[in-house]
Copies of this chain bind each other. A is one copy, B any other.
Amino acid sequence: MLVVMKAHATEEQVRAVCEKIESLGYRAHAMPGAQRTAIGITGNQGEVEPGTLEELPGVQELIRVSKPYKLVSRDVKQENTVIRFPGTDATVGGPGLAIMAGPCAIESREQAMAVAERVCRAGAQFFRGGAYKPRTSPYSFQGLGEQGLQIMAEVRDKFGMKIVTEAIDNESLELVEQYADIIQIGARNMQNFSLLKRAGRTRKPVLLKRGMSATLEEFLMAAEYVMSEGNYQVILCERGVRTFADHTRNTLDLSVVPAVRRLSHLPILVDPSHGTGKRNKVTPLSRAAVAVGADGLIVEVHSEPDKALSDGMQSLYPEQFEELMAQVRQIAPVVGRTVPGIGAHVSVDLRTQTDFHAPAAD
């Protein structure tokens, strides 16, 4: 059920409706829009009685939401959700494409800084990197943990990039929440509902990756789990699904981008690195992702991919990432998007940085 407020409804009226809803044992989710505020009602005790609400001051109408997802739906919020980051002009879902880049895993301070400098200079506003790695084998490198988070914080301090990193359980989420600007939930945890709810109780944006065999509805319902707990800053991310095809590690399903746009107000990114699993396919699919209408990219970049502790096969060399950015910059305007200028958001002078060893190739 959805309460649509009148265009001129006051904040007080919105608050009063929310309180009434909560007093009935439901949860109220006020979603301010350009024209009017809508209030989503959630809870698992069946539909609320309309009579008690439609007489309240400022209420225009009550709409029954027939889709299984509610807060995620464009029915509740027509305008695109734009996620902003204080102290920067980077957004996710705004006219500028959000470019996230960095190594699969944070391996060392030196490695992180070397990659960060390169991707920052090429235009990335977000630095990605794993401190907690969900690995198929218990005997593989599992990430540096909190030490990795600290290194990422240093990257933010030095380069001004916002930090994106994955939480794999409630314990790691506790720490990730403290350090990161965006909390990533990985594909394997897309239906770890306990973790989704926990992420919904943070106040940091959540980057939710599509599960390897998730339908669109399951994907949106996973976002709904986060939102139902009160965190409305959810970023979706397509990263390839599992099929019989064997020329790529996964099959990148770009059609999900326009499909999400139709149904939901949430932004959606594309991860061409996991989506293909092959370095030589990352740039073509990045171009395609921007062309199809994605709100940004999340790309793996490593200064020495052959020595990477995980996913080296799909990591770009920094030079390749620069080339990717150059191409993306040309496609963005066609779909009405912009891409940040080279290093435009960097407030420090990269060329005078001397406190870490730049790689020879630089």
Interface residues of A (CB under 8 A from B): 42-44, 68-70, 134-142, 168-172, 188-189, 191-195, 197, 212-213, 215-218, 221, 224-225, 228, 241-248, 251-259, 262, 275-276, 280-281, 284-285, 287-293, 327, 330-331, 333-335
Contacts and interface: CB of A to CB of B under 8 A. Distances in A.
Contacts of A197: 138
A44 to B, nearest CB: 5
Given A285-B292, A287-B335, A168 B193 contact: yes
A134 B190 CA distance: 12
Given A137-B68, A288-B289, A259 B241 contact: no
Contacts of A68: 136-137, 139
Contacts of A138: 42, 44, 193, 197, 221, 224-225, 228
Contact of A247 (B255, B275, B280, B281): B255
B255 A281 contact: yes
A48 to B, nearest CB: 12
Contacts of A276: 255
Given A244-B243, A245-B216, A139 B251 contact: no
26 contacts: A42-B139, A68-B136, A68-B137, A70-B139, A136-B218, A138-B225, A169-B169, A169-B170, A169-B195, A171-B194, A188-B192, A188-B193, A241-B244, A241-B251, A243-B243, A243-B244, A245-B253, A247-B256, A254-B254, A254-B288, A257-B284, A258-B280, A287-B334, A287-B335, A288-B292, A291-B291
